[in-house]
């Protein structure tokens, strides 16, 4: 047991390898291959990585990635919190709390991002630090014999073409990023992040095929894509594992689904939890109940600075209200704020007026 608190500090270049080693232990994963290690290091921002040490041993760490997130009326910078790990021998010593406090207080003091976001390995963990679930995703498993589709008008005008993973990268990135501003909560993908997500490493496909890509095109214009793998079972019982599917319109979705649901020697189509809850996918199924849709928590948001965060977005209707925020972890947010705005812009300032609404910062992040 250490005699002094293990205060987190910035990492040095020579300590970055310990991050991956700690992650393997904390998340009970196999050792990283050299290829995966090199890939993740490309995304690291050394000046935004912190760790706690017991002697020379890293026992806890956390990182921030610089993202942009779509909100009503535009985009805001978002501090993407990730690689949060604590060595099992050092649990229940306040190390996670120390990491979270260092990150959030540091963002506030430096005038960094007004919003932080993460995806949680376990949903109960981050609420006590003010993170609220802001978006959800749907996963589904569709038996092929119950996968009849109600294809939208215009589907027959969309062609589907199989393309190589590397050759289709630019088209996929363009399609994805032009959707960002249509859906609050979507994150802009840099080329580095997109290449990481598209990487086809052995760790990504235990027992499955290489990553396959199909483009949906109207004439010569790409309007959608799907990435997937196939997993062989006994003859005729394979699974299509859909990693991502996105299209500009229902006809594009219809063409992609028609392809994915009609691959020979397969019996099941499994679609990842990245599907938004308002996606056309469920509505295109003749029997949506057969898909057994399952709801998952997705992005959790934490307002680092309530005033800057609420003023950074627009509002669908005119608003003029006083919100009293409860925030013990970041006390500069606590108190009453007057929020005014409309579809053109917004402002948020301290006030002594009576509150119309009292809520915790966690609930405010969810909203």
CA distance 199 to 165: 9
Domains parsed from the chain with CATH numbers:
9-134 (3.40.630.30), 137-297 (3.40.630.30), 305-366 (3.30.1050.10)
Which pLDDT belongs to residue 206?
74
268: its two tokens: 């099941």
Report helix, strand and coil shares of the chain as percent, to nearest 5.
30, 35, 35
Give me the tens of pLDDT residue by residue for the chain, a chain 367 residues long. 444 568 999 999 999 989 999 999 998 888 888 888 888 889 999 999 999 999 999 999 999 999 999 999 999 999 999 999 999 999 999 999 999 999 999 999 999 999 999 999 988 999 999 999 999 999 999 999 999 999 999 999 999 999 999 889 999 999 999 999 999 999 999 888 888 888 888 777 778 899 999 999 999 999 999 999 999 887 789 999 999 999 999 999 999 999 999 999 999 999 988 788 888 888 999 999 999 999 999 999 999 999 999 999 999 999 999 999 999 999 999 999 999 999 999 999 999 999 999 999 999 999 9
CA distance 96 to 22: 14
CA distance 178 to 175: 5
CA distance 59 to 56: 9
The strands making up 300-303's β-sheet, listed across from edge to edge, are 9-10, 49-54, 57-71, 74-86, 115-118, 300-303, 132-133
CA distance 63 to 81: 6
- Count of Cβ atoms closer than 10 Å to residue 216 Cβ: 30
Grouping H, G, I as helix, E, B as strand and the rest as coil, residue 112 is coil
């Amino acid at each position: 047991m250490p005699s002094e608190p293990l205060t987190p500090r910035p990492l040095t270049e020579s300590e970055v390898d310990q991050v991956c080693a700690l992650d393997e232990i904390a998340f009970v994963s196999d050792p990283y291959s050299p290829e995966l290690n090199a890939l993740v290091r490309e995304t690291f921002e050394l000046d935004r990585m912190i760790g706690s040490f017991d002697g020379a041993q890293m026992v806890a760490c956390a990182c921030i990635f610089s993202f942009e997130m779509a909100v009503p009326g535009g985009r805001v910078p978002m501090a993407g919190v990730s690689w949060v790990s604590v060595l099992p021998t050092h649990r229940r010593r306040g190390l996670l709390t120390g990491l979270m406090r260092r990150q959030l207080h540091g963002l506030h003091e430096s005038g960094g991002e007004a919003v932080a976001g993460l995806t949680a390995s376990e949903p109960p963990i981050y609420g006590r630090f003010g993170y609220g679930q802001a978006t959800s995703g749907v996963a589904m498993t569709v038996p092929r014999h119950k996968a009849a589709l109600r294809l939208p008008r215009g589907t027959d005008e969309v062609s589907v073409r199989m393309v190589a993973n590397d050759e289709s990268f630019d088209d996929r990135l363009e399609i994805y990023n032009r959707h960002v501003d249509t859906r609050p909560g979507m994150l802009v993908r840099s080329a580095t992040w997109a290449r990481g997500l598209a990487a086809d490493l052995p760790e990504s496909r235990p027992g499955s095929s290489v990553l396959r890509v199909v483009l949906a095109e109207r004439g010569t214009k790409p309007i959608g894509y799907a990435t997937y793998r196939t997993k062989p079972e006994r003859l005729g019982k394979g699974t299509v594992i859909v990693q991502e599917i996105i299209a500009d319109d229902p006809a594009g979705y219809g063409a992609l689904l028609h392809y994915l649901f009609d691959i020979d020697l397969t019996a099941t189509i499994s679609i990842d939890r990245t599907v938004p809850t308002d996606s056309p996918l469920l509505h295109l199924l003749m029997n949506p109940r057969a898909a057994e849709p399952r709801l998952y928590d997705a992005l959790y948001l934490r307002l680092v600075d309530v005033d800057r965060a609420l003023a950074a977005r627009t509002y669908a209707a005119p608003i003029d209200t006083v919100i009293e925020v409860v925030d013990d972890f970041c006390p500069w947010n606590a108190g009453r704020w007057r929020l005014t705005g409309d579809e053109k812009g917004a402002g948020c300032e301290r006030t002594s007026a009576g509150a119309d609404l009292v809520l915790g910062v966690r609930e405010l992040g969810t909203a």
